[in-house]
Amino acid sequence: MEDRGIWFKGSIVPVADAKINVLSPTSQFGLNVFEGIRCYWNEEQQQLYAFRLQEHFDRLLNSCKLIGFSCPYALGQLREYFLETIRFNSYRQDVAVRMTLFIDGEGSWNSVAPVEMFIAPIAKSRTDVTNLKGLSACVSSWDRIGDNCLPPRIKAGANYINGRYGHLEARRNGYDVPIFLASNGKVSEGAGACLFIVRNGQLITPSLTSSVLESITRNTILDLALEMNLRVCEREVDRTELYIADEVFLCGSAAEVTPITSIDRVPVGQGLPGELTVKMLDLYLDVVSNKSPQHGGWLTKVY
């Protein structure tokens, strides 16, 4: 285990001391909401940049509201504790930060308190663009969870069990990752990432009502694509469009921009990472590490 300090229930403690009750609702039922936030180190500027903090905090608070418990912290406190935790660990490298609000105590799946929080940074490097291979995907036999059963708009721990089923099935059958369809048969998203296809130079992504998480990276890519004068479209996507797309990629705070090079063994385009996908990944990595000054508004300096 990496030796680091975790913000846990009001103070920073060694990771080994951040322990919870096995009977807590978060432990028993996955009753928690969380964010996965990336920070990128810029060696030239000797600075660490947190990407789109405000949007992550907004989504965290929406998740609380939808799952039915209140966040005990104001926005300013979330920001302060987040920065305090990373500074405490003196990171001078890329990190991924897990920020989780959870139901503690000895309750049940319907408990609404006590709400506690942890903030756990983990060292995580960005995608190596010089060694980009792309992933093989399959269309999962499992449906994506939906708004009227287990809303994917909420970033809740329990939702990830759906991703787990798809992922384990994909790996069992020799694929890297699953792509989920929503219960209406339309394309939804990956197990922990949203999805774009490219057709005739246009970037297309399933709409926000396609059983997807309201992804911050998806939103970033839509903005960047418009700046690149690309045509973009948010709409329903058919399964068959996956097989005839010129390019397909996943996106997310963890996935960044990940090319998909085959789906159900059908090559995507030439079966290599697509040109536009690679261009988008390059731009994305510049933006998140403050090498693209006009996007500085998305970044928060950690030091």
Ligand X SMILES: Cc1ncc(COP(=O)(O)O)c(C=O)c1O
139 touches ligand X (CB under 6 A): no
Interface residues for ligand X in 109-138 (CB under 6 A)?
none
Cβ proximity of 145 and 162 under 8 Å: yes
DSSP 8-state assignment for residue 155: -
Cβ proximity of 218 and 205 under 8 Å: yes
Q: Give catalytic residue positions.
A: 155
Question: By C-beta, is 13 or 236 nearer to ligand X?
Answer: 236
Nearest to 221, CA basis, from 273, 287, 136, 151? 287
Specify the stretch interacting with ligand X by CB under 6 A; choose among 104-112, 127-135, 197-205, 212-220: 212-220
Shortest distance, CB of residue 60 to ligand X, whole angstroms?
Answer: 11
- Report the residue from 5, 25, 36, 166 that binds ligand X according to the rule CB under 6 A: 36
- Report the residue from 39, 135, 193, 224 that binds ligand X according to the rule CB under 6 A: 193
Q: Which two tokens stand for residue 156?
A: 């809740």
Nearest-Å Rg of the Cα atoms of the chain is 19
Question: By C-beta, is 218 or 295 nearer to ligand X?
Answer: 218
Cβ proximity of 99 and 35 under 8 Å: yes
Specify the stretch interacting with ligand X by CB under 6 A; choose among 171-179, 187-195, 224-232, 234-242: 187-195
Torsion of CA 69, 152, 191, 57, to 10 degrees: -50
194 touches ligand X (CB under 6 A): yes
Chain contacts with ligand X (rule: CB under 6 A) = 36, 189, 192-194, 213, 215-218, 252-254
